[in-house]
Structure 1
């Protein structure tokens, strides 16, 4: 072996993602008193390795709570409002997304959402990379229905990359909406 010979660069090939189709009639739903989540598809490992995505659709009753202020360290969260209006916090700013609006929230950015005051919302959510979040969504539904202890959500923050934070701006926006 010649130690002075140039070395070939090492490449790692990530297998391509397979096409995925979820028929509406076959999609799992998780419901709580004010929203219904339709779990559409997820790919990629539980740690986000290999890329992929997690996608679900949520319909919120008028003025229904969504998620409190939180951030993700490894995933971007994408929002597309299909119909209605969604009130969102991004950083320290609260705004309302209307039907057809798209929002991308990068990692480490505090954000929150709820149906806009007096409005319903139908929203498509996508996380990239995918991280096995369907189990988290199922847990949220169980907690909202009183079937699981809310402590389980706090205990799962690292596993599901969902880190809750205090946001006086978001609290004030919700108080004005009430």
Structure 2
């Protein structure tokens, strides 16, 4: 008698986060809903969260990642983004993939709100970064903690005159 192989996908490789049960991190201008970050990010994986930005909200200053590709999908509203030295407006249904080492930044587009799904691949403990960022934005932690953990979070800030000018213009 031959032995049958189990070809059914195992639930241990699936990740389900119910909207109502997702952890949220909030600051005065945005709410981040932490959706998925597998425990074993050493094998690659991903990190995913959803952010809703109020009108005028600044999402992230100019930065780059050395390991992660950052994916943006605009669920609703409009997001202003910097990619390299170019400014673009992403609208509902638009998708953007930013490869490693590419400076980028984002904010709610002038006069708009935005609801955006973010995915990072490969994964890392990005949720810890988002929690820290939320505490800094609420005045509960010092911003120097972010700089001190740049390598851990693969988040490296850069100066971008193009982004500064875009923010000044939209203010």
> Does the alignment pair 1:151 with 2:139?
no
Q: Which runs of 5+ in 2 are unaligned?
A: 1-11
Name the CA distance, whole Å, in 1 between partners of 2:32 and 2:50: 6
Instruction: From 20, 23, 32, give the equivalent of 2:27.
Output: 32
Q: How many pairs does the alignment contain?
A: 161
Name the CA distance, whole Å, in 1 between partners of 2:24 and 2:130: 10
Instruction: From 118, 122, 126, give the equivalent of 1:125.
Output: 118
Name the CA distance, whole Å, in 2 between partners of 1:35 and 1:110: 22
1:103 alignment counterpart: 96
2:105 alignment counterpart: 112
CA contact (8 A) 1:44 1:51 kept: no
Name the CA distance, whole Å, in 2 between partners of 1:25 and 1:49: 28
2:67 alignment counterpart: 74
Give the alignment's TM-score, normalised by structure 2: 0.92
Instruction: From 144, 150, 167, give the equivalent of 1:174.
Output: 167
Q: Aligned-pair distance for 1:43?
A: 1.9
Which of structure 1's runs of 4+ aligned residues deviate more than 6 A?
none
Q: Which has the larger radius of gyration?
A: 1
Q: Aligned-pair distance for 1:51?
A: 1.0
Name the CA distance, whole Å, in 2 between partners of 1:67 and 1:93: 16
2:85 alignment counterpart: 92
Look up the SS of the partner of 2:123 in the other structure: coil
Name the CA distance, whole Å, in 2 between partners of 1:111 and 1:95: 11
Q: Which runs of 5+ in 1 are unaligned?
A: 1-16
Q: Aligned-pair distance for 1:49?
A: 2.4
